Amino acid sequence: MSDVDLEDVASWCLRQKWLGMREDNTQWQKREFLPQLLEVYQQERPKELKREAENAARRAEWDRIAADSRKAAERAAHQAWLMRDMRAWGRENGYVVGTRGRIPRKVIGAYKEAKGI
């Protein structure tokens, strides 16, 4: 039998509510289930650790996707702000700029030159 961390076994048993035994059970009182418990633990714990690792990898992937989405939303918000600012600047400086559609290249060029972009 390999090295077994008894605290890990105990916490695993509590999580599994192993065997559904109660303290008034004679097997429980004599602790006759321990060899069986260790055998089940050694079979099941690696599977549980693998599932936990897979779940952690899945959560990390979802976190990465969420971060990418937030970055994309921030870029889109900045672009929208830039377009509004460019249109307002163009109107203030005598250019004809619509409320929608493309901003004329001369307005973009003049805006960038004035703002130092």
The pLDDT confidence band at residue 30, using thresholds 50, 70 and 90, is low
Tens digits of residue pLDDT in 89-99: 999 999 999 98
Under the banding of pLDDT at 50, 70 and 90, the label for residue 48 is confident
pLDDT > 90 in the chain, percent: 52
pTM of the model: 0.52
CB 2, CB 42: distance < 8 Å = yes
Which of residues 15 and 100 earns the better pLDDT score? 100
pLDDT in tens, 49-67: 899 999 999 999 999 999 9
Does residue 18 register a pLDDT over 60? no
Give yes or no for residue 82 having a pLDDT over 70.
yes
Concatenated DSSP letters of 17-68: TGGG--TTSHHHHHTTTHHHHHHHHHHHHHHHHHHHHHHHHHHHHHHHHHHH
The domain locations on the chain are 6-115
Token digits for 16?
Answer: 């599994």
